[in-house]
Amino acid sequence: MKRRTLLKGGLAALALVGANYTGLSLLGKPGFIDTARADGFTAPLPIPPLLEDLDSRSDSARFIMNAQQGSMDFFPGKPTATLGYNGNFLGPTIRVRNGQRFRVDVNNTLPEVTTLHWHGLHVPAQWDGGPRQPISAGTTWNPDFTIKQEAATLWYHPHAMGLTGEQVYQGLAGFFLIEDEVSDSLDIPKIYGEDDIPLVIQDRRFFSNGQFAYAQNMHDILNGVIGNYLLVNGAMQPRLSVHSGLVRLRLLNGSNSSIYRIGFKDQRTFQVIASDGGFLEQPVAMNSIVLSAGERAEVVIDLSDVELGNQIILTVEQMKGSLFEAMRITVDRPAETTGRLPDHLRTLDKIPESEADGIRGFTMETMSMGGGRMGMGMMGRRLTINGKKMDINRTDEQVRLNSTEIWEITNQGAMMMSMPHSMHLHDVQFQVLSRNGQPPPLHERGRKDTVLIMPGETVRIISRFRDYTGVYMYHCHLLEHEDDGMMGQFEVIS
Ligand code: C2O
Ligand code: CU
Ligand code: CU
């Protein structure tokens, strides 16, 4: 795999123990695979199939999902044990419409407990699929609810207590797309798999025997498990052929803990049309976009300047690691239409700050130095929110149904003990009010459910808590942090 190490200003602060994970001593463990592959850009990009809707009525949809064990040949002759939904690795794309009744049978054929969480979905608490809804080995879970949400690129993944990171790492994740009248009527690329391409970007680390090298030690938990191989839809350096003109990419940072800067090798400008929770008001021109673990963005690229037969390269830079040539996009036929992106995508129902019924503060701490005696106490607690670690028997916050709240989230920076965190709320799609007192960048002004918070930063978000009561999670979406307890529960009460 082509990669080079980058030295970036400010990144020193992120390195808790140093960025060179390959230098770890792993007594009794095989070493990591760290060799270049010569066969880049030969494998076609896998497009996750659209999951068959078993309900013939248009106002309802029913699906079957099997969490299962599998195997992948990432390296010739060294099959990797994997997990997938209805397949070996990752899962099919679920596509539903706003207003549809949604039913699914989730069969857990794994030898251990799992859950299935609909990330970004406004969903009744009992069907959220978080740690409170375990699906034990060999059993089936049957969510049944109505989609009450505008068009968006969401995703699904397991969320069992303490097991999220490892199960996602092994392959459990997929896209969950909502469509509505707005997405129907917008003149944007929308042929799934043709010019509307879902791209889940993840990195992985492997042992020399071909198996995934998931978290090995405290360093991996604090820094997150950062991989030296990049996968796009489960393939290393795949290639994709598309028509000329406009092509839409639905980007998902599906990695466990990496923060990615995504762009193109030729630095070309693209238009961001949607954030986590749906369309922006107007396209935002950028030439790279940062997505933390769990975040999504829909972007439209214009390939009309690329000659037939030529290609561009999608690049992905890890915040404290490598720059990958992630995928090659070749133009193999003329555009079917002379598309031009609309200037106005939709009118956003903005949540005015004045609507807030109250403000809550959240402090995310990588490491607190507080109050200790020598030894363990010196280090204080690590990976906490408001000084606490997740306790499924404790409700941390109570929120009134039909209220609107501002949450002020601070990533408490501390010299040499700082990490970026990625705050995610279940149930709601929020709006970012400010970053360090400044208005958020244009591409963060739509609806979001996950937001990157750098050390020392304070991000203020506003959310409406509507429709459903019950207990939901908020947590860091760096999955190693989440599993270590950087998570809390809020209860919406009537
Ligand atoms: Cu993407 Cu609580 O999850
Ligand atoms: Cu979620
Ligand atoms: Cu974190």
Tokens representing 476 are 């860091």
> From the alpha carbon of 130, which atom of ligand 1 is closest?
2
Averaged pLDDT for residues 437-451: 98
Q: Write the pLDDT tens digit of every residue in 16-61.
A: 333 333 333 333 456 766 655 556 899 999 999 999 999 999 999 9
CA of 117 to the centre of ligand 1 (A): 7
Q: How far apart are CA 119 and CA 139, in angstroms?
A: 22
Any ligand 1 atom below 6 A from CB of 426: yes
For residue 426, give the ligand nearest its CA. 2
- Between CA 63 and CA 395 the distance in angstroms is 32
Is residue 424 within 6 Å of ligand 1 at its C-beta?
Answer: yes
Please answer whether residues 238 and 232 qualify as being in contact, where contact means their C-beta atoms are separated by less than 8 angstroms.
yes
Residue 420 Cα, ligand 3 centroid: separation in angstroms? 6
Nearest to 88 by CA among 48, 43, 136: 48
Give tens-digit pLDDT for 210-250: 999 999 999 999 999 999 999 999 999 999 999 999 999 99
Report pLDDT for 397: 98
Residue whose CA lies nearest to ligand 1 atom number 1 = 119
Q: Give buried/exposed letters for 170-205 (b at 16+ CB in 10 A, else e).
A: bbbbbbbbbbbeebeebebbeebeebbbbbbbbbbb
| H-run or E-run covering 165 | helix 164-169
Evaluate: CB of 296 within 6 angstroms of ligand 1.
no
Minimum mean pLDDT range among 35-49, 202-216, 316-330, 435-449: 35-49
DSSP 126: G
- pLDDT value at position 413? 79
CA angle 206, 165, 441 (to 5 degrees): 105
Say if residues 172 and 200 touch (Cβ distance below 8 Å). no
Rounded to whole angstroms, how far apart are CA atoms 492 and 463? 12
- What pLDDT shows up at residue 418? 87
Q: Which ligand is in closest contact with the Cα of 418?
A: 3
Whether 473 is in the pocket of ligand 1, judged by its Cβ within 6 Å, is: yes
Around ion ligand 3, residues with a beta carbon closer than 5 Å are: 421, 476, 478, 481
**Alpha-carbon separation of residue 386 from 159, 368, 370, 376 (angstroms):** 22, 11, 13, 20
Q: What is the pLDDT of residues 360-403, one digit of tens each?
A: 999 999 987 654 444 444 456 789 999 999 999 999 999 999 99
Q: Is the separation of the CB atoms in 58 and 147 below 8 Å? A: no
> Is the pLDDT score of 4 beyond 70?
no
Contact 95, 177 (CB under 8 A): yes
Residue nearest to atom 3 of ligand 1 (CA): 119
pTM for the model: 0.92
pLDDT at 337: 77
pLDDT at 25: 35
294 lines ligand 1 (CB under 6 A): yes
CB of residue 172 inside a 6 A radius of ligand 1? no
Mean pLDDT value across residues 437-455: 98
